């Protein structure tokens, strides 16, 4: 199930919230678990056991670590159990076929592919549960004593399939708080965030995204240079509004349930460097890699050479995390190269020249999205040549007329204007209620006649 869906909003959410608010506090985490398991099984009933296994393995490994605190050998055993299980299932489900097909390509063998569908959200929840065990091992958080509370953390439907990546330490207090978890303030804010997120996804992302799909249908190599640019702008807006809209809906739903999830996007397209972009884009993922990979490897504390190597590892993994294909690795390495160059000398120059810095950042990010999307490397090459060669092909005229307004709206909403509007009027119901009503009703209208409502993280 996805949030931007009539059934989710008017059937699932209404029923779940009603039950959740009515039952006594001691049952609320149980209700979250049951609702989340239904939510998860709705899309992929076969993988219900994985969800259960994930909960049980991490719960007991952490218990084991907690019980044997001080006995480093046993603690490590508990940690290994969790990490091997999580990384193992991620490797198995997500990467096996990629390795098999590459072995087949290089060695000329014909090992059959497994062709198992990727469990929904596996990249998100394996990271989440793994970080919990690591935090228990490090003594940062106490192990959760109640398996129902823990399963509510693992399965919690708002963030289950597309993030943000919520750490146990983000919500453990609220999970164990009974009185006062749910506040009208929280519900009030949650409604606003959910509707803004819904609008971002349905009204902006879906609206501009159809352009990119058309270009894919005609073939990335046959478009004219202006259409190639129009397309990559549309896709850049689509992936931002889709992903950040989805995160915002998740944060809003979290607030309605009484939890504060971390912020995941902070106006990434106003960045003046790639370094800054990655502090504003999918912040919980970059935070995760920093906390659990980069810093343990030594971060920047062991000299520049070692730091660059650590960055290489992190960005290779970040790329590969996004999908099991060469282009995702290339995408990760592309960002590694840019970040390394910025770290070594470019960043200082960019700081002094804000206008070229913005142009540079947007340009490199746009090229990055082309690498990210186009899995066929030959096709990717042709598209990038199109972008920079000023050549003819299918004209942009029709698409420009059709998407000009939507793209303009998208660009305006990528600037701090929306945040300023929200900060100014968030407690002014005379403004807020009509605006939210319009966004909500229009979104419902687009969902009822949904000709284009994709779920674009299926490879994550």
The DSSP 8-state label assigned to residue 116 in this structure reads P
177 binds other proteins (CB under 8 A): no
**Shortest Å, Cβ 130 to other proteins:** 27
Instruction: State the catalytic residues.
Output: 322
CB closer to other proteins out of 34 and 187: 187
44 touches other proteins by CB under 8 A: yes
> At a CB cut-off of 8 Å and minimum separation 6, what does 126 contact?
54, 86, 87, 89, 90
Does residue 389 bind other proteins (CB under 8 A)? no
Q: Name which of 192 and 322 has its Cβ closer to other proteins.
A: 192
Chain centre to alpha carbon of residue 234:
19
182 vs 314, beta carbon nearer other proteins: 182
Name the minimum Å distance from CB 441 to other proteins.
Answer: 7
Looking at the chain, the number of H-run helices and the number of E-run strands are 22, 0
Q: Does 436 bind other proteins (CB under 8 A)?
A: yes
397 makes contact with other proteins (CB under 8 A): yes
Q: Are 220 and 374 in contact (CB under 8 A)?
A: yes
Our finding on whether 26 is near other proteins (CB under 8 A) is no
Instruction: Please report whether residue 355 would count as binding other proteins according to CB under 8 A.
Output: no
Closest C-alpha to 120, from 41, 54, 187: 41
Cβ neighbours, 10 Å, residue 82:
27
5 binds other proteins (CB under 8 A): yes
Q: Which stretch binds other proteins (CB under 8 A): 235-243, 246-254, 278-286, 398-406?
A: 398-406
10 is a contact residue toward other proteins (CB under 8 A) = yes
Question: Which of residues 137 and 440 has its CB atom nearest to other proteins in the complex?
Answer: 440
Whole-angstrom distance, CA of residue 158 vs CA of residue 348:
40
Using the minimum distance from each CB to other proteins, give the nearer residue, 17 or 297. 17
Omega prior to 164 cis, within 30 of 0? yes
Residues 394, 218: contact at Cβ < 8 Å? yes
Closest CB to other proteins among residues 13, 250: 13
For position 442 contacting other proteins by CB under 8 A, the verdict is yes
Q: Under the criterion CB under 8 A, does residue 406 sit at the interface with other proteins? A: yes
CA–CA separation, 458 vs 199, rounded Å? 21
Q: Any contact of residue 192 with other proteins (CB under 8 A)?
A: yes
User: In whole angstroms, how close is the CB of 7 to other proteins at the nearest point?
Assistant: 4
Q: By CB under 8 A, tell whether 46 contacts other proteins.
A: yes
Residue 228, helix vs strand vs coil = helix
Does 13 sit near other proteins (CB under 8 A)?
A: yes
CA-based nearest residue to 312, from 134, 298, 349, 459: 298
58, 214, 242, 342: residue in contact with other proteins (rule CB under 8 A): 214
Residue 241's closest CA among 262, 268, 221? 268
User: Does the protein bind other proteins through residue 45 (CB under 8 A)?
Assistant: yes
Residue by residue, DSSP assigns 10-61 as: IIIIHHHHHHHHHS-HHHHHHHHHHHHHHHHHHH-GGGHHHHHHHHHHHHHH
Q: How many CB atoms lie within 10 A of CB 17?
A: 16
Instruction: Indicate whether 445 belongs to the interface with other proteins (CB under 8 A).
Output: yes
Question: 57-62 — which CB contacts under 8 Å span 24+ positions?
Answer: 57/81, 57/82, 57/85, 57/86, 58/82, 58/85, 58/86, 58/129, 58/130, 58/132, 58/133, 58/150, 58/154, 59/144, 59/147, 59/150, 59/151, 61/85, 61/133, 62/132, 62/133, 62/136, 62/143, 62/144
Examine residue 187 and tell whether it contacts other proteins (CB under 8 A).
Answer: yes
Give the 3-state secondary structure of residue 69. Answer: coil
CB of 419 to other proteins, least distance (A): 19
Of 210 and 267, CB closest to other proteins: 210
Q: Closest CB to other proteins among 161 and 346?
A: 161
Size of the site for other proteins (CB under 8 A): 51
Cα 19 from Cα 21, distance rounded (Å) = 6
- Which of these segments, 95-103, 302-310, 338-346, 396-404, binds other proteins (CB under 8 A)? 396-404
Contact map string, positions 217 to 256, toward other proteins, x by CB under 8 A = xx---x----------------------------------
**Which listed range, 152-160, 302-310, 374-382, 427-435, lies at the site for other proteins (CB under 8 A)?**
427-435
Closest CA to 131 of 163, 95, 94, 97: 163
Residue ranges in contact with other proteins by CB under 8 A: 1, 5-7, 9-11, 13-14, 42-46, 182, 184, 187-188, 191-192, 195, 207, 214, 217-218, 222, 395, 397-398, 401-402, 404-406, 409, 429, 432-433, 436-437, 440-442, 444-451
């Amino acid at each position: 199930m996805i949030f931007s869906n009539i059934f989710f909003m008017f059937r699932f959410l209404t029923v779940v919230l009603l039950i959740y608010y009515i039952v006594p506090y001691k049952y609320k985490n149980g209700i979250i678990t049951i609702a989340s398991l239904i939510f998860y099984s709705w899309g992929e009933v076969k993988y219900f056991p994985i969800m259960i296994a994930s909960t049980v393995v991490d719960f007991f490994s952490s218990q084991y670590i907690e019980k044997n605190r001080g006995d480093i050998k046993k603690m490590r055993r508990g940690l290994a159990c969790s990490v091997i299980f999580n990384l193992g299932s991620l490797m198995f489900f997500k990467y096996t076929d990629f390795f098999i097909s590459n072995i087949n390509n290089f060695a000329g063998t014909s090992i059959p592919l497994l062709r198992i569908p990727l469990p929904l959200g596996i990249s998100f929840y394996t990271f989440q549960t793994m970080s919990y065990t690591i935090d228990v091992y490090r003594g940062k958080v106490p192990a959760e004593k109640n398996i129902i509370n823990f399963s509510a953390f693992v399965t919690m439907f708002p963030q289950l399939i597309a993030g943000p990546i919520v750490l146990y330490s983000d919500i453990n207090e609220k999970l164990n708080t009974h009185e006062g978890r749910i506040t009208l303030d929280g519900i009030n804010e949650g409604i606003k965030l959910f509707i803004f997120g819904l609008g971002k996804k349905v009204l902006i992302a879906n609206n501009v995204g159809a352009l990119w799909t058309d270009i894919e249908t005609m073939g990335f190599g046959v478009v004219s240079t202006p259409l190639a640019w129009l397309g990559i702008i549309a896709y850049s807006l689509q992936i931002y509004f889709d992903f950040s809209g989805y995160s915002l809906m998740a944060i809003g739903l979290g607030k309605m349930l009484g939890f504060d999830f971390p912020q995941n996007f902070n106006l990434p397209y106003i960045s003046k460097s790639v370094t800054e972009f990655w502090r504003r884009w999918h912040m919980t993922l970059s935070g995760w890699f920093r906390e659990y990979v980069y810093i343990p490897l030594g971060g920047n504390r062991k000299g520049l050479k070692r730091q660059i190597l650590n960055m290489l590892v992190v960005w290779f993994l970040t790329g590969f995390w996004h999908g099991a294909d060469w282009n995702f690795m290339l995408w990760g390495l592309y960002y590694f190269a840019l970040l390394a160059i910025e770290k070594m000398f470019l960043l200082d120059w960019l700081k002094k020249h804000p206008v070229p810095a913005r142009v540079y950042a947007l340009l490199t990010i746009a090229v990055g999205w082309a690498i990210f999307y186009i899995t066929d490397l030959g096709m990717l090459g042709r598209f990038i040549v199109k972008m920079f060669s000023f050549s003819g092909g299918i004209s942009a005229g029709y698409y420009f007329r059709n998407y000009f307004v939507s793209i303009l709206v998208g660009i305006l909403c990528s600037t701090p204007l929306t945040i300023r509007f929200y900060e100014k009027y968030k407690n002014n119901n005379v403004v807020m209620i009509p605006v939210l009503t319009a966004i909500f009703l229009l979104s419902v209208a687009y969902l009822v006649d949904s000709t284009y409502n994709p779920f674009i993280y299926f490879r994550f």
